[in-house]
């Protein structure tokens, strides 16, 4: 056990050192370009993020045990948004779910089809198997920036993202893809920390900041050379209700039932 522990500690140290080295190499080169952000995101995804979740599963057992309950009800905040459901089945997409979705599995007599996706799904499931942890619904591979290649147009009744869109390489494209696979007049539930990139010193996947200004939701990179007013950019696609709860932005994006362009040609 001690040897395994020492091996894992050493391996994680090497990954962190390698990440910091690669980060220094790429930082001076076009530091404010989207390409540079994508490169740093890719490095962080493969070298930093798995370490974080290994520590999460080891140190915060009380925070994930309820996620293993197959009778866990869908969170109240999400149930409130399921007002436009026809039939006895709903499809929910959980974006950046990590190893264990927190959405829940049950909703009265309605059949819940839950799709937790994450680009590191294989890694997370391997970690869970080693720890003999078996969730009711396993996370599957999925990249939010390529949802339209994995799912159909207007497929989901509800889309959930908790602290994940600002961890993507291109959040604007991610939101555009979400719009494509969400049903008209249905909701995308967005819960993210304010200025998470700044708080984490732009380490790992934390390359972006969400913030609230002049009653609008904004996105920017470290230097703010890249900055978007999300409320303005998507005003013809979503009606957006925004609330600030402590350090969190809770936004409810309701898809407007209008014609919109192919997501492959937007925010590329």
Spell out the per-residue pLDDT of the chain, length 268, in tens: 444 445 555 655 655 555 555 556 555 544 556 667 777 767 666 666 666 666 666 666 677 788 999 999 999 999 999 988 888 999 999 999 988 999 999 998 899 999 999 998 988 898 888 888 999 999 999 999 999 999 999 999 999 999 999 999 899 999 999 999 999 999 999 999 999 999 988 877 788 999 999 999 999 998 888 999 999 999 999 999 999 999 999 999 999 987 545 555 454 4
Between the CA of residue 238 and those of 180, 241, 251, what are the distances in Å? 11, 10, 11
**Cα 251 to the chain's mean position, in Å?**
14
Look-up: residue for tokens 């869109």? Answer: 165
By CB atoms closer than 10 A (0-12, 13-18, 19+), residue 11 is exposed
Whole-angstrom distance, CA of residue 170 vs CA of residue 32: 13
Enclosing H/E stretch for 186: strand 182-193
How many domains would you assign to the chain? 1
How is residue 221 written in tokens? 């990179």
What's the CA gap between 197 and 212, in Å, rounded? 14
Q: Are 103 and 139 contacting, i.e. CB atoms less than 8 angstroms apart?
A: no
Residue 190 sits in a domain of what CATH number?
3.40.50.150
Q: Domain of 29?
A: 2-265
Beta bridge partners, 240, equal 253
The answer to whether the predicted template modeling score (pTM) of the entire model surpasses 0.75 is yes
What's the burial of 248, exposed, middle or buried (CB within 10 Å: 0-12/13-18/19+)?
Answer: middle
What's the pLDDT at 2? 47
Q: Name the 3-class secondary structure at 121.
A: helix
């Amino acid at each position: 056990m001690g040897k395994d522990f020492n091996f894992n500690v050493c391996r994680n140290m090497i990954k962190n050192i390698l990440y910091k080295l690669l980060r220094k190499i790429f930082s001076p080169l076009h530091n404010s370009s989207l390409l540079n952000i994508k490169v740093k995101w890719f490095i962080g995804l493969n070298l930093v993020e798995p370490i974080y979740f290994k520590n999460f599963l080891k140190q915060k057992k009380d925070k994930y045990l309820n996620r293993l309950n197959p009778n866990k009800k869908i969170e109240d905040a999400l149930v409130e948004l399921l007002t436009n459901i026809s039939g006895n089945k709903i499809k929910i997409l959980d974006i950046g779910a990590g190893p264990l979705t927190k959405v829940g599995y049950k909703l009265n007599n309605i059949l819940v089809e839950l799709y937790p996706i994450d680009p590191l799904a294989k890694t997370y499931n391997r970690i869970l198997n080693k720890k003999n942890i078996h969730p009711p619904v396993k996370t599957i591979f999925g990249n939010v920036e390529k949802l339209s290649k994995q799912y159909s147009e207007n497929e989901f009744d509800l889309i959930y993202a908790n602290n994940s869109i600002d961890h993507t390489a291109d959040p604007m494209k991610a939101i555009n893809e979400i719009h494509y696979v969400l049903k008209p007049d249905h909701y995308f539930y967005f819960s993210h920390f304010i200025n998470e990139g700044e708080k984490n010193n732009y380490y790992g996947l934390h390359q972006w900041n969400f913030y609230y200004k002049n009653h609008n939701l904004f996105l920017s990179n470290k230097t703010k050379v890249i900055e978007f007013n999300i409320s303005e950019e998507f005003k013809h696609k979503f009606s957006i209700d925004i609330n600030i709860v402590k350090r969190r932005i809770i936004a409810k994006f309701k898809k407007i039932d209008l014609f919109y362009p192919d997501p492959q040609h937007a925010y590329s």
